[in-house]
Chain A
Amino acid sequence: MQNEYARSAGEFVRIAANGAIVALFLFPLAWMIAGAFKSEGDLLSPDPVWFFAPVLDHWRFIFANWAVEHHLVNSAIISIATTLATLALGFPAAYGLSRFPLWRKDAILFDILSLKMIPPIASAVPLFILAKQVGLYNTHAVLIILNTAFQLPFTLLVLKSFIDEIPREIDEAARIDGCSALGVMWHAVLPLAVPGIVCCALFVFIFTWNEFLLANVMVGGEQRPLPPIVGLALTHRGILWGPALALGVVVIAPVLALSLMLSRYMTRGLTFGAVKG
Chain B
Amino acid sequence: MKLPRVRQNLLGAVFVGPAFCYIMLVVIYPLLYSLWASFTNMRLTSPITSFVGLDTYAQALSSEIFQESLIVTAVFLVCVVALEFILGFALAYSFSRMTRTHPVMRSLLLLPVMATPVSVGLVWKLMLNSEFGILAGWGRAFGASGILWLSDPTLALVSVVIMDVWQWTPFMFLILLAGLEGLPKEPVESAQVDGANRWQILLFITLPMMRRIIVIAVVFRLMFAIATFDTVYVLTKGGPARATDLITLFIQREGFVNLNIASASAVSFLVLIAVLVVTTILFKRDLADAK
Contacts and interface: CB of A to CB of B under 8 A. Distances in A.
A232 B171 CA distance: 29
B9 A101 contact: yes
Which one of B12, B99, B178, B275 has the highest number of Cβ atoms from chain A below 10 Å of its Cβ? B12
Nearest to A28: B123
A270 B99 contact: no
A256 B115 contact: yes
A89 B17 CA distance: 9
A65 interface: no
A122 B269 contact: yes
B56 interface: no
B227 interface: yes
Contacts of B15: 92-93, 95-97, 100, 181, 185
Identify the interface centre among A28, A106, A121, A145: most chain B CB within 10 Å of its CB: A121
Nearest to A207: B114
Contact of A119 (B105, B138, B171, B227): B227
Interface residues of A, number: 99
B48 interface: no
A150 to B, nearest CB: 7
Given A15-B98, A15-B102, A271-B175, A26 B108 contact: yes
B254 to A, nearest CB: 8
B275 A119 contact: yes
A122 B32 CA distance: 11
Contacts of A48: 134, 137-138
> Would you call the interface of chain A mostly helix, strand, loop, or mixed?
helix
Contacts of A113: 279, 283, 287
B11 A125 contact: no
Interface in B1-29: 1, 5, 8-9, 11-16, 18-20, 22-23, 26-27, 29
B131 interface: yes
Given A96-B12, A176-B1, A153 B23 contact: yes
B20 A32 contact: no
B94 A14 contact: yes
B31 to A, nearest CB: 6
Interface residues of B, number: 101
A22 B108 CA distance: 7
Contact of A25 (B132, B166, B175): B166
B213 interface: yes
A152 B54 CA distance: 33
Interface string A218-260: 0000000001001100100001010011001101100110111
B13 A106 contact: no
A96 to B, nearest CB: 3
Contact of A241 (B112, B120, B126, B226): B126
B113 A270 contact: yes
Contacts of B94: 14, 17-18, 21
Contact of B11 (A115, A181, A230): A181
A120 interface: yes
A122 B98 contact: no
A123 B27 contact: yes
A98 B66 CA distance: 43
Interface in B72-119: 91, 94-95, 97-99, 102-103, 105-119
B37 interface: yes
Interface stretch (B57-65, B196-204, B260-268): B260-268
Interface string A101-118: 111001001100111011
B185 interface: no
Given A124-B252, A274-B287, A263 B110 contact: yes
B23 A101 contact: no
Given A117-B279, A119-B271, A267-B178, A255 B19 contact: no
A103 B9 contact: yes
B279 A263 contact: no
Interface in B266-290: 268-269, 271-272, 275-276, 279-280, 283-284, 287-288, 290
21 contacts: A21-B91, A25-B109, A25-B169, A28-B166, A46-B140, A47-B140, A48-B137, A96-B12, A101-B8, A102-B12, A119-B272, A122-B269, A123-B34, A125-B251, A125-B264, A128-B256, A230-B118, A234-B122, A245-B123, A266-B106, A270-B174
Interface of A: 11, 14-15, 17-19, 21-22, 25-26, 28-29, 31-32, 35, 43-48, 89-90, 92-93, 95-97, 99-103, 106, 109-110, 113-115, 117-130, 145-146, 148-150, 152-153, 156, 172, 175-176, 181, 185, 206, 209-210, 212-213, 217, 227, 230-231, 234, 239, 241, 244-245, 248-249, 251-252, 255-256, 258-260, 262-263, 266-267, 270-271, 274-277
4 pairs of A and B residues whose beta carbons are closest in the complex: A100-B12, A96-B15, A263-B107, A93-B19
Interface of B: 1, 5, 8-9, 11-16, 18-20, 22-23, 26-27, 29-31, 33-34, 37, 91, 94-95, 97-99, 102-103, 105-120, 122-127, 131-132, 134, 136-138, 140, 166, 169-171, 174-175, 178-179, 213, 216-217, 220, 223, 226-227, 229-230, 233-234, 248, 251-252, 255-256, 261, 264-265, 268-269, 271-272, 275-276, 279-280, 283-284, 287-288, 290-291
